[in-house]
Structure 1
Amino acid sequence: MLLSTKKSDVLQYKGCNFFKQRLVLSVLSGKSINITEIRSKSEDEPGLKEFEVSLIRLFDKLTNGTIIELNETGTSLFFQPGLLVGGKIQHDCSLQRGLGYYLEALFMIGCFCKQPLNVTLQGVTCTNVDPSVDLMKTSMISTLKKFILDDEELDLKVTKRGMRPLGGGEVVFKCPIRKQLRPVQILDNGMVKRIRGTAYALRVSPAMANRMVEKAKGVLLNFIPDVYISTDHCKGKQSGKSPGFGMHLYAETTNGVIYSSEQISNLVSQGEEPSIPEDLGVAAAQRLLYEIYLGGITDSTSQSLAILNMALGPKDVSKIVLGPLTEYTIGFLRNLREFFGVTFKIENYENEEDQGGTGSKKVLLTCVGIGYTNISKRTI
């Protein structure tokens, strides 16, 4: 467990755990952070990784007046955030991580910029390490829409796909600015009414996508008849620089809740076992069924985004029901308390109308928002 102490108005941390979370909350709260002993015991590669430096550079582009101090070995970082500006930005991301790693941060800060976000990210769109851009498009956009009104300007467009290790993908993320979020009280996730998805094949035979679709539908049609999975065989520049294939699935409920899953082929060039399309399709379908089983008003990928928007909302009570909290979400709750002093009431949730076999145990999260306001957003 990492310890943090407040000293001279600078939050002190040790180690690299929850690095992105702390940068995001630092920018939103305006509080400086000092992180020491970043992989200091690693003999091969001490200090910050390339993808972490790339994230810092992205925040530097999004803000004005940010002060960044990094020692020679990269094991100590001082970060003093500036004014969150936003606007039109283009950023080449590290190929070590997927674009989803960077997009999560943009989803969290986008509404509070001075200018609407129009960010073009280039790199790896699909990876087993981070959520893919397809999953971000369904899961996080549906979650963010619950907290903002007039969401027509919120969009994530995949212009090029790119697999590891060479990438070549590109996405455009647009996010409107808002003066304030709205409180939510959502307890019922509803019943699954349809399942949609996409199977894509990059620089490999189009038959790969069809083979994935056949097996995935073979699993899902046992539970619901409304299943449609499209195929996307990218050509030329739209297919990136590396071969691979994958599948993204999502289920929509009667109350507009989205559950997402995905599976992506292994990297044979780096010694991993070659993926079989049929196995990958079955795994994607089973993962989606598991997300539905976990339940809640959002899937496990977007738990932190929902919690952040509850904490930053108006000074009113917000309540949501989630499935079992991930370790990432638990760490986020601790960091929220450090930066904003917000604590949540967490209790087991049982709906009296539910009968047995309705999924895993749920938790009810309740908090009073801090009334966070975008001071750059003018009111008419």
Structure 2
Amino acid sequence: MVIIIIIDGSYLEGGGQILRTSIALSSLLNKPVKIINIRKKRKNKGLAKQHLACIKAMKKLCNAEVEGLYLGSEEVTFIPSKLSPKDFTINIGSAGSVTLVIQTLLPLALGINKKFTVKIIGGTDVKYAPTVDYMKYITLKILENYGIKSELRLIRRGFYPEGGGEVIFTLFPSKIKMFDLVEHSGSREVFGIAYVQNLKEEIARRMRKRAVDLLNKYGFQPNIKVEVSKGISTGAGIFLSNDTIGSSYLGEKGLRAEIVAERATENLLKERKLALDRYMGDQIIPFLAFGKGKVGVSEITNHTKTNIWVVKHFLDVEFDIKEYKEGYIIEAL
């Protein structure tokens, strides 16, 4: 008899992350899963285009049988077979986040026997998801230091609502190392990119100038590039990184370039407590479950608590959370 793990998608933050982590671990561990009440706490309940793209990608990579694979579906049953890496293209068909598809693919590094490459078309810089630069310079860089090998190449940016961004993502067979990433390095260097697409270069230069002025004022050494591009969609934003901490902010109509830069900079400085910011704090949980060890995070969010809850359905692991300095230590036992 097939034992199916049941995951209630309405738990805590009740968003798409429950689905993504469940499908990723189901595929990696070859454990069937049924997710109910998908995105129950969202205005538009059920599967959106980005979630469909994640499931279709995983279905392809592990020859899964899937029930409930349609737009708006609130229940999905996913029965995986053996992982068989292959190259393919995913067109999300909207400005759905390409980085959230990558987030779903990443744990497979621990189960594949050869590399595979995916071209993903959609949104690279959209709200409520890591930007492509955060994914490349924070998530993937940290995971690479602990054994997870991948490559991410940005072909063109995609913004809401048209999307049309494109990335090439390659994942390699990997062995995870034990985590010991509690303290921030203390580095004062800040790397960044101020970018515009289909807009005047002056906007990117204004974002850069404001961020540089603020960072200099607080005793940092900024190195912020300006990027100007043409594409299907129009948008702007700035990404900043200080070693293992990252911050992105996207431009909006009516929001001055200087304000965008200020918000990104303030967020970076606010998160600079321990090794990981709150966004990486939830992304690292599945990998911490496999590698064991401990990490320091600025905050324990509902996303982090939710990811811990999902992971414990698939793996025999305990997480110990302790207050430490201005943040928290999460240890996987």
Q: By the TM > 0.5 criterion, same fold?
A: yes
Shift of 1:229: 0.8
Q: Counterpart of 1:67?
A: 65
Q: Counterpart of 2:6?
A: 12
Residues 13 and 141 of structure 1: is their aligned pair in 2 closer, same or farther, counting only changes over 3 Å?
Answer: closer
> Could you tell me whether the CA contact under 8 Å between 2:276 and 2:295 is conserved in 1?
no
SS of the residue aligned with 1:363? strand
Q: Counterpart of 1:327?
A: 302
- Note if 1:190 corresponds to 2:185: yes
- Note if 1:124 corresponds to 2:102: no
Aligned residues: 326
Shift of 1:106: 2.1
> Could you tell me whether the CA contact under 8 Å between 1:246 and 1:280 is conserved in 2?
yes
Return the letter of the residue paired with 2:295: I
Q: Counterpart of 1:164?
A: 160
Please, which of 222, 228, 249 is the counterpart of residue 227 of structure 1?
A: 222
Q: Counterpart of 2:233?
A: 242
Q: Counterpart of 1:259?
A: 245
Please, which of 149, 169, 172 is the counterpart of residue 173 of structure 1?
A: 169
Q: Counterpart of 2:290?
A: 312
Question: Superposed, which structure 2 residues align to 1:208-219 within 5 Å?
Answer: 208-219=203-214
Shift of 1:133: 0.5
- Note if 1:296 corresponds to 2:290: no
Residues 168 and 48 of structure 1: is their aligned pair in 2 closer, same or farther, counting only changes over 3 Å?
Answer: closer
CA–CA distance in structure 1, aligned partners of residues 60 and 69 of structure 2: 21
> Identical aligned pairs, as a percentage?
22
Instruction: After superposition, give the CA deviation of every residue in 1:246-281 in whole Å (9 maximum; x if it has no partner).
Output: 1111112xxxxx111011122x5xxxxx22111111
CA–CA distance in structure 1, aligned partners of residues 44 and 214 of structure 2: 43
Residues 15 and 367 of structure 1: is their aligned pair in 2 closer, same or farther, counting only changes over 3 Å?
Answer: closer
Stretches of structure 2 that go unaligned for 5 or more consecutive residues are none
Residues 38 and 142 of structure 1: is their aligned pair in 2 closer, same or farther, counting only changes over 3 Å?
Answer: closer
Q: What is the CA RMSD across the aligned residues, in angstroms?
A: 2.4
Shift of 1:82: 2.0
Q: Counterpart of 1:89?
A: 88
Radius of gyration: which is bigger?
1
> Could you tell me whether the CA contact under 8 Å between 1:135 and 1:248 is conserved in 2?
yes
Please, which of 252, 265, 269 is the counterpart of residue 285 of structure 1?
A: 265
> Could you tell me whether the CA contact under 8 Å between 1:344 and 1:367 is conserved in 2?
yes
> Could you tell me whether the CA contact under 8 Å between 1:95 and 1:166 is conserved in 2?
yes
CA–CA distance in structure 2, aligned partners of residues 40 and 186 of structure 1: 34
Shift of 1:225: 4.3
| TM superposition score normalised by structure 2 | 0.89
CA–CA distance in structure 2, aligned partners of residues 36 and 141 of structure 1: 30
Return the letter of the residue paired with 1:31: K
Stretches of structure 1 that go unaligned for 5 or more consecutive residues are 1-6, 253-257, 269-273, 351-360, 369-380
> Could you tell me whether the CA contact under 8 Å between 2:95 and 2:122 is conserved in 1?
no
SS of the residue aligned with 1:120? strand
Residues 297 and 109 of structure 1: is their aligned pair in 2 closer, same or farther, counting only changes over 3 Å?
Answer: farther
Q: Counterpart of 1:355?
A: none
Q: Counterpart of 1:100?
A: 99
CA–CA distance in structure 2, aligned partners of residues 331 and 217 of structure 1: 36
Shift of 1:342: 0.9
Residues 41 and 80 of structure 1: is their aligned pair in 2 closer, same or farther, counting only changes over 3 Å?
Answer: same
> Could you tell me whether the CA contact under 8 Å between 2:87 and 2:117 is conserved in 1?
yes
Q: Counterpart of 2:323?
A: 348
Residues 144 and 225 of structure 1: is their aligned pair in 2 closer, same or farther, counting only changes over 3 Å?
Answer: closer
SS of the residue aligned with 1:230? strand
CA–CA distance in structure 2, aligned partners of residues 323 and 247 of structure 1: 21
Shift of 1:139: 0.9
> Could you tell me whether the CA contact under 8 Å between 1:120 and 1:171 is conserved in 2?
yes
Residues 185 and 24 of structure 1: is their aligned pair in 2 closer, same or farther, counting only changes over 3 Å?
Answer: same
CA–CA distance in structure 2, aligned partners of residues 141 and 76 of structure 1: 31
CA–CA distance in structure 2, aligned partners of residues 191 and 334 of structure 1: 32
> Could you tell me whether the CA contact under 8 Å between 1:86 and 1:110 is conserved in 2?
no
Shift of 1:228: 1.3
Residues 311 and 145 of structure 1: is their aligned pair in 2 closer, same or farther, counting only changes over 3 Å?
Answer: same
CA–CA distance in structure 2, aligned partners of residues 246 and 120 of structure 1: 23
Shift of 1:192: 2.1
Instruction: After superposition, give the CA deviation of every residue in 1:112-143 in whole Å (9 maximum; x if it has no partner).
Output: 22321311111111112211111100111122
Please, which of 361, 366, 371 is the counterpart of residue 331 of structure 2?
A: 366
> Could you tell me whether the CA contact under 8 Å between 1:97 and 1:130 is conserved in 2?
no
Instruction: After superposition, give the CA deviation of every residue in 1:322-359 in whole Å (9 maximum; x if it has no partner).
Output: 22212111111111111112111222224xxxxxxxxx
Please, which of 313, 322, 327 is the counterpart of residue 338 of structure 1?
A: 313
Residues 260 and 343 of structure 1: is their aligned pair in 2 closer, same or farther, counting only changes over 3 Å?
Answer: same
CA–CA distance in structure 2, aligned partners of residues 223 and 111 of structure 1: 41
